[in-house]
Structure 1
Amino acid sequence: MPEIVFDKVRKSFGAVEVLPPLDLELNDSEFTVLVGPSGCGKSTTLRILAGLETLSGGEIYFDGRPIGGLEPKERDIAMVFQDYALYPHMNIARNMSFALRLAGVSKSEIEEKVTRVAKLLNIDHLLDRKPAELSGGQRQRVAMGRAMVRDAGTFLFDEPLSNLDAKLRAKMRTELAEMRDTIDKNMVYVTHDQVEAMTLGDRIVVMSDGKIQQQGSPEELFKRPVNRFVAGFIGSPTMNFLDGELHTKDGSTWVQGDGYMLPVTGETGQRVSQVATSRNITLGLRPSSIDPDVTAGAPIELHIAVAEYLGAQSVLVTRCGQTEVLAEIASAHRFESGKVRTFGVATDELMIFDRDSGLRL
């Protein structure tokens, strides 16, 4: 499994620069997730790594060896696409073994590899069927199996679950996580779904406009985002953002805005205690930091617009002043639309962002 290094990699399509100089290191045996909104450059990065797009500048290294000029087949990479791309006239066993047969691998070795991978993916009972006889999830497993039988050093996944329904996506996420723990390979996974990223990634690389905003473990990105973009992208429901003014006096720090005044405590309070008073900022408030028990934190009044029942949890769509605020609470608490209620805010979980740069203070 090579260590993969992007060294000032650039990609342009004509006059449009999709990837400005990109520096990134992918460690041995690591499941790395590239995540971001559509058009952020994550799929282009993956296709450049696979050799499906040419470099406009910079270089990619596998264990110190430049591979930017190599053909895809020379890179020891296997790729799983969003589209299953299975041959409809071949059964599953022949679909999975197609690349091995082209490479002239012996029949006994092909049978051993196909059987082993099929058992791992729980599709060994489907090997004699045609793709049309399989469900969407089974076809996706076959597409993964076709890549895995090649025993490549690096596996690339380009939004492989986006064609599946919500229930099947959740099941496949679990299976991918289990597969990740049993296969000692580099895996690079592209998705726009931050839930997939949080569930699967050893390391998440958050991208926007072709640039890396932050990279780290799921917990690090959730608890310590470097800017407003990362804070708003990681976490579901998404973080609330409220404009306000930051004040410090006599060792106390608080934020005041339209319809609220909250003290800032904990690590964030210590970080911003030296910031100039009356500074215009953006307050970041996680929906999970809002509690129906007003004694659980500092009080805030919210006008309830909609209560979305999601089973064990409910999401309240509320307003604080003129700003929409989401609150995630246990469904045992029932609230009527149109009412104004006081909630408690966990002030040690607040985040403060510079309003102009978006950086977390």
Structure 2
Amino acid sequence: MPKIVFDQVSKSYGSVQVLQPLDLELNDSEFTVLVGPSGCGKSTTLRMLAGLETITSGEIYFDGKPIGHLEPKQRDIAMVFQDYALYPHMNIAQNMSFALRLAKVDKSEIDTRVKRVATMLHIDHLLGRKPAELSGGQRQRVAMGRAMVRDAGTFLFDEPLSNLDAKLRAKMRTELAEMRNQIDKNMVYVTHDQVEAMTLGDRIVVMSDGVIQQQGTPEELYKTPRNRFVAGFIGSPTMNFMDGELTEQEGALWVRGDGYLLPVAAEAAARLASHGTREVAIGLRPSSITNVINGGAPVELQIVVSEYLGAQSVLATRCGSNELLVEVASAVPIQHGTTQTFEVNTEEMMIFDRETGLRL
């Protein structure tokens, strides 16, 4: 399992640069997730690693050896695509073993590998069937199995669950997480779904506009985002943002905006002392706003929509001209159209520079 290093790797199509010079290290036996909106450069990064796209500048190294000039088959990589790409005339065993048969691997070794991987993926009872006889989730397992039987040093996944329905996607996430714990390999996974990223990744790399915005563990990205983009992308429901202005009252620092006045926690106020800007944006997780009043910072919210989700309800509310999502326990129903007092946990409030988007 090689250590993979991107050294100032960029990609352009003519005059259009889709990936800015990128530095990234993928550690041995690590599950790394590249996440971001469509067009951010994550799939392009993966395809350059696989050798399916040429590098415009820079180099990729496996254990210190440059591999940018190598053909895909020379890179010891197996890839699972968004499209299953199964051969319809072959049964499942033949689909899974196709690359091994091309490589002239001994038949007994092929059978051993196919059965072992099929058992791990719970498709061992399907080996004699054709792809048309399988469900979408079963076909995706076959596509993963085809990559896994190769026993490559690095596995690449390009949005493999995006074609599945929500329930099946959740089930496959669980199975992928279980599989990750059984296989001691490098895994690089591309997705636009931050829930997949948070569930699967040892390390998440958040990308936007061809630039790495931040990388770290799921907890690091959730609790200490570097900028407004990362804060808004990681977490479900998404973070709320409101423009405001820093102001001092009675020896304390406050943020004033349309429909609210909130105190800044002492630790955050000390950090803000070194910044000259007064125009900021505040970020509040939906779970940081509660309808349980304990003497904290109050805010009046108009309930627009109440979405009952079982144990929790997500409220779409208005605070002045701002729209806020609030996550509360659903034990007490909250009627839309009403205006109620909520409380903000200002210890969890994040403050961003309104112009640069950087967290202050």
Common fold: TM-score over 0.5: yes
Shift of the alpha carbon at 1:263?
A: 1.0
Flag structure 1 segments of 5+ consecutive residues without an equivalent: none
Q: Which residue of structure 2 lines up, in the alignment, with residue 126 of structure 1?
A: 126
Distance 2:267 2:308 in 1: 33
Written as runs of structure 1 = structure 2, the 5 A alignment for 1:147-186 is 147-186=147-186
**How many residues in Structure 1 have an aligned counterpart in Structure 2?**
360
Shift of the alpha carbon at 1:250?
A: 6.4
Counterpart residue identity of residue 159, structure 1:
E
Shift of the alpha carbon at 1:298?
A: 1.1
Q: Which residue of structure 2 lines up, in the alignment, with residue 356 of structure 1?
A: 355
Q: 1:249 to 1:209 in 2, by over 3 A?
A: same
Distance 2:300 2:137 in 1: 45
Q: Is the 8 A contact 1:253 1:273 kept in 2?
A: no
Written as runs of structure 1 = structure 2, the 5 A alignment for 1:62-141 is 62-141=62-141
Flag structure 2 segments of 5+ consecutive residues without an equivalent: none
Q: Which residue of structure 2 lines up, in the alignment, with residue 315 of structure 1?
A: 314
Q: Which residue of structure 2 lines up, in the alignment, with residue 287 of structure 1?
A: 286
Distance 2:296 2:121 in 1: 47
Distance 2:98 2:265 in 1: 60
Structure 1 residue 61 corresponds to structure 2 residue 61: yes
Counterpart residue identity of residue 40, structure 2:
C
Distance 1:122 1:112 in 2: 15
Q: Is the 8 A contact 1:114 1:149 kept in 2?
A: yes
Distance 1:268 1:218 in 2: 23
CA RMSD of aligned residues (A): 1.2
Distance 1:179 1:267 in 2: 42
- 3-state secondary structure, aligned to 1:295: coil
Shift of the alpha carbon at 1:266?
A: 5.9
Counterpart residue identity of residue 351, structure 1:
M
Distance 2:101 2:153 in 1: 19
Counterpart residue identity of residue 321, structure 1:
G
Q: Is the 8 A contact 1:251 1:273 kept in 2?
A: no
Q: Give percent identity, aligned residues only.
A: 76
- 3-state secondary structure, aligned to 1:79: strand
Distance 1:213 1:344 in 2: 31
Q: Tell me whether 67-76 or 256-265 shows the greater mean CA deviation.
A: 256-265
Distance 2:170 2:283 in 1: 28
Distance 2:47 2:235 in 1: 27
- 3-state secondary structure, aligned to 1:195: helix
CA deviation map 1:215-255 (0-9, x unaligned)? 00000000000000000000111100001011246662221
Q: Tell me whether 249-258 or 73-82 shows the greater mean CA deviation.
A: 249-258
Distance 2:116 2:257 in 1: 60
Written as runs of structure 1 = structure 2, the 5 A alignment for 1:327-346 is 327-346=326-345
- 3-state secondary structure, aligned to 2:294: helix
Distance 1:267 1:173 in 2: 38
Written as runs of structure 1 = structure 2, the 5 A alignment for 1:22-33 is 22-33=22-33
- 3-state secondary structure, aligned to 1:294: coil
Q: Is the 8 A contact 1:315 1:328 kept in 2?
A: yes
Q: Which residue of structure 2 lines up, in the alignment, with residue 224 of structure 1?
A: 224
Shift of the alpha carbon at 1:55?
A: 0.7
- 3-state secondary structure, aligned to 2:163: coil
Q: Tell me whether 291-300 or 109-118 shows the greater mean CA deviation.
A: 291-300
Shift of the alpha carbon at 1:267?
A: 4.4
Distance 1:34 1:96 in 2: 26
Q: Which residue of structure 2 lines up, in the alignment, with residue 326 of structure 1?
A: 325
Q: Tell me whether 266-275 or 345-354 shows the greater mean CA deviation.
A: 266-275
Shift of the alpha carbon at 1:269?
A: 3.7
Shift of the alpha carbon at 1:20?
A: 1.2
CA deviation map 1:6-32 (0-9, x unaligned)? 000011111110111111000000000
Distance 1:269 1:153 in 2: 48
Counterpart residue identity of residue 216, structure 2:
G
- 3-state secondary structure, aligned to 2:20: strand
Counterpart residue identity of residue 138, structure 1:
Q
Distance 2:71 2:267 in 1: 50
Shift of the alpha carbon at 1:296?
A: 6.2
Distance 1:246 1:123 in 2: 59
Q: 1:102 to 1:220 in 2, by over 3 A?
A: same
Counterpart residue identity of residue 118, structure 1:
A
Distance 2:185 2:267 in 1: 37
Counterpart residue identity of residue 281, structure 1:
V
Distance 2:294 2:276 in 1: 30
Q: Is the 8 A contact 1:313 1:329 kept in 2?
A: yes
Q: Which residue of structure 1 lines up, in the alignment, with residue 195 of structure 2?
A: 195
Shift of the alpha carbon at 1:333?
A: 2.5
